[in-house]
Amino acid sequence: MATENQSAEQAGRAPLRVKVARVIEETADARSFVLDVSDESLRHELTYRAGQYVTVEIPWEAFHIHRCYSFSSAPGVDAQPQFTVKRVADGRMSNALIDGVKAGDTLTLHPPAGRFVLDRDAGTRPLSLFAGGSGITPIFALLKTTLRETERPVRLLYANRDAASTIFAAQLDALAREHAGRFTLRHHHDDAAGFLTAGALAEWLGSAPEGGRQSDHYVCGPTPFMDAVEAALKTAGVDAARVRVERFVSPADPDRRDTDLAVSLGVPPNAESPADFLVTLGAAIKRVPYTSPLTLLQACKAAGVKAPSSCEDGFCGSCMCQLVEGDVAMANPLALTDNDVARGRVLACQARPTSATFLHVDFDAVDFRAGDGAGMTPPINPARAALVLGLCVGAAVLVRWLHAVI
Ligand SMILES: Cc1cc2nc3c(=O)[nH]c(=O)nc-3n(C[C@H](O)[C@H](O)[C@H](O)COP(=O)(O)OP(=O)(O)OC[C@H]3O[C@@H](n4cnc5c(N)ncnc54)[C@H](O)[C@@H]3O)c2cc1C
Ligand code: FES
């Protein structure tokens, strides 16, 4: 991340200093940290959408480490924002937070980010949620917002090792009672029923309206759980564009980074690169000088171009942009779905040029920045698409011309 031995301030970002109002013991190894946002400007800085996360920064040995934690609270439902952390064996941040942070302490946080949010245009489309273990945190927020603000029917399949380790169990059961007929909750406990099987997932999907094919699906949990759910959705014929996943991964800390340069950069050795590239951002086109092996995001930062970013490790999607022209390779594009790749989206924090060809990326072209929750929007109107395509072609011609004459 912008981490290479740097604190957030050194990296040019604006971290927030936020007091912890309360620590809630959810289970033996999970805690919720309720944030004190009584200060108006802080509350504004921490404005978030259900399903988003906040990034926590702590000093660690000679450097700083960063980890993302999803809000388990929902705006408009819960008075104060809170995130929930589950202990990971030998994990650096989770143990430091659970064992070391108490009410009244101050945390260094980076503003909310993330694309694991509800589609604002979903109407009454059914919502299908899958959570495993701590993956319940963003799912719980999505659930609360949906029940409060929409008429959508919701189903949640929630897998845990056992009843005792089930975070928010009592609150979920209460919501299921309160919204009986609209919210269907199924707990799965490995100690009683074994690991979740493909058969059990198929049976759950089979009991959904239209086999889940017209639902929006949100999946968050440990990797084997997510793999099993994604496979079941595919088998059930659910369109990949209707599936959203949130992967709970840690960025590589400076002392855990891959030292093999070719592997860590993702570009072939001796790849050529252009001397500069064009960036469309905030309705302006800027020329950014480029020096290998910087990422496009690092080059933007060096040139004072404030491109959007958060994790800088390829998993949050904040730096996503449209590759208008040129050749790039990405080291770790975890946040991109097949659909994103097919549409020519790239992650500026992971992308490096692989040839000296003219290169142009457009941050404005990525629709989720306009707040629609990208990826699950209805089919494109052909007339509008033709108009947009025409405008894009015109803009590309103009940009090439500008590049030649500037
Ligand atoms: C968008 C997003 C949202 C998230 N939301 C949540 C949430 O709501 N709640 C939550 O609890 N978590 C959440 N996470 C996960 C969280 O960010 C951390 O990944 C998690 O807390 C583990 O961090 P850690 O520092 O405790 O463990 P780490 O120090 O990152 O270690 C994790 C595990 O990997 C091992 N490990 C990793 N690298 C090495 C290495 N090089 N050498 C040896 N061992 C290694 C460790 O021993 C440990 O077992 C989220 C992640 C993302 C990306
Ligand atoms: S900043 Fe998170 S994916 Fe690039």
CATH of the domain at 211: 3.40.50.80
Mean pLDDT of the chain: 87
CATH number for 327: 3.10.20.30
> What pLDDT score does 213 carry?
95
Identify whether 293 is preceded by a cis peptide bond (ω within 30 of 0).
Answer: yes
Instruction: Assess whether 180 and 155 both reside in one domain.
Output: yes
pLDDT band of 14, cuts 50, 70, 90: low
C-alpha 308 to ligand 2 mean position (Å): 8
From 217, 246, 275, give the residue that closes a domain: 246
Q: Which residues line ligand 2 (CB under 6 A)?
A: 309-312, 314-319, 335, 347, 349
Instruction: Assess whether 226 and 267 both reside in one domain.
Output: no
With 90 as the cut, is the pLDDT of residue 101 above it?
Answer: yes
Whether 134 lines ligand 1, by a CB cut-off of 6 Å, is yes
With 60 as the cut, is the pLDDT of residue 390 above it?
Answer: no
> What pLDDT score does 384 carry?
41
From 78, 113, 148, give the residue that closes a domain: 113
* Residue 10, domain member (yes or no): no
C-alpha 352 to ligand 2 mean position (Å): 14
Percent of the chain with pLDDT over 70: 85
* Residue 206, domain member (yes or no): yes
Find all residues with CB under 8 Å of 186, minimum gap 6, and list them. Answer: 155, 156, 157, 158, 204
* Residue 253, domain member (yes or no): no
With 70 as the cut, is the pLDDT of residue 371 above it?
Answer: no
Instruction: Assess whether 109 and 146 both reside in one domain.
Output: no
Domain count, the chain: 3
> What pLDDT score does 402 carry?
54
> What pLDDT score does 379 carry?
34
> What range does the domain containing 182 cover?
127-246
Instruction: Assess whether 38 and 142 both reside in one domain.
Output: no
Which has the higher per-residue pLDDT, 270 or 155? 155
Nearest-angstrom CA–CA distance, 211 and 329: 38
pTM: 0.81
From 60, 83, 113, give the residue that closes a domain: 113
pLDDT band of 404, cuts 50, 70, 90: low
Query: Residue 372's CB: how many other CB atoms inside 10 A?
Result: 14
Q: Which atom of ligand 2 is nearest to the CA of 315?
A: 3
Instruction: Assess whether 52 and 173 both reside in one domain.
Output: no
